[in-house]
Amino acid sequence: MDVHDPEPGTTPGTSQPRPAPPERTAIAAAAARSLAESRRRAAARERCRITHELQDLVGPHLSSLAAHGRAAALAARDLDEQSRDALDVSLHAVLDLTETALADLREFVSGLRATPGARQQG
């Protein structure tokens, strides 16, 4: 190799790499956009999967707990006043916690669904 010959892949007279031809730059940019879109779609699918799994696993249990709490409160009407009052306090705490958990679950799930692209399936 002659002292005046540039290194392969460098611009003559410098040690700087040669700029990529425009078509290679355009291809690389398109590939980057495609990769970003693929990642966005994968994240959206994962959010949908988590949303459905949460609803399927937790929602029915919380709804059932709330229904049983209401039924117990209705049944407590037949107890003596002191027992009814004690049970009423506990049942109201259970109902409040259950309703709060359901509201939190709904808010969380709607937040996942509201995330841009979360409804798209790819």
Query: Mean pLDDT in runs of 10 for the chain (122 residues)?
Result: 56 66 85 94 89 83 81 81 83 84 83 61 42
pLDDT given at position 68: 82
pLDDT given at position 40: 92
CA dist., res. 58 & res. 93, Å (int): 19
pLDDT given at position 33: 94
CA dist., res. 21 & res. 6, Å (int): 18
| 59 three-state secondary structure | helix
Q: Is the distance from CB of 112 to CB of 50 less than 8 angstroms?
A: yes
The two tokens of residue 31 are 């590939």
pLDDT given at position 121: 43
Is the pTM here over 0.75, yes or no?
A: no
The two tokens of residue 83 are 């027992």
pLDDT given at position 36: 94
How far apart are the two ends of the chain, measured CA to CA in Å?
A: 53
CA dist., res. 37 & res. 116, Å (int): 12
Q: Fill in the DSSP letter of residue 79.
A: S
CA dist., res. 63 & res. 117, Å (int): 29
